[in-house]
Structure 1
Amino acid sequence: MESAKKYEKVILELSKDEAIVFLERVSRFNQDDRSDSFQDQSEKRILWDIEACLEKEVTETFSSNYSKILARAREEVRD
């Protein structure tokens, strides 16, 4: 039974706008090497992994007008 739990997955769905905004935030957080904000290296590993997953899906980051795309996405997500 223990080995079956190892492969359990949690699926998180985001809109494209949410993914763009979240990738921007996770990316900035990962660049800011504040090791004191983590209780364990596994927390940092998860954020690196999330950033890598989002980078595969959010191709807009390579667009020449990414700042406009990000601004529009933030506006859409904002309350």
Structure 2
Amino acid sequence: MVEVKFSLSRSEALVLFDWLSRFNETGDPAFADQAEERVLWDIEAFLERQLPEPFDPDYERLLATAREAVRDSTA
């Protein structure tokens, strides 16, 4: 499996951690601050530059396969 790696500044990591923690606790994706949105936009832009799959005509099948590979097992 090919890995995609990215890095965050300490501030970006803290902002992302706080948003993810709130989302996991409440299920509410609302942003408390624009900085949270900025970090997610930056990650999306990075992934868009790294991944050819979103531009593949067979994207839906590729996404389904990726979800299956990542999903928790139900054993």
Question: TM tier, shorter chain?
Answer: 0.5 to 0.7
Is 1:58 paired with 2:14? no
Q: How far apart, CA to CA, are the structure 1 residues paired with 2:32 and 2:54?
A: 30
Gap runs ≥5 in structure 2 = 1-7, 11-28
For residue 58 of structure 1, report the CA deviation from its aligned partner.
Answer: 1.0
What is aligned with 2:41? 48
What is aligned with 2:62? 69
TM-score between the two structures when normalised by the length of structure 2? 0.56
Q: Which has the higher helix share?
A: 1
The superposition leaves residues 22-70 of structure 1 with CA deviations (integer Å, 9 ceiling, x where unpaired) of: xxxxxxxxxxxxxx81111111100100100111111111111000000
Q: How far apart, CA to CA, are the structure 2 residues paired with 1:67 and 1:73?
A: 10
TM-score between the two structures when normalised by the length of structure 1? 0.54
**Same amino acid, percent of matched pairs:** 51
Alpha-carbon RMSD across the aligned residues, in angstroms, is: 2.1
Query: Helix, strand or coil: the match of 1:52?
Result: helix
Query: Helix, strand or coil: the match of 1:37?
Result: coil
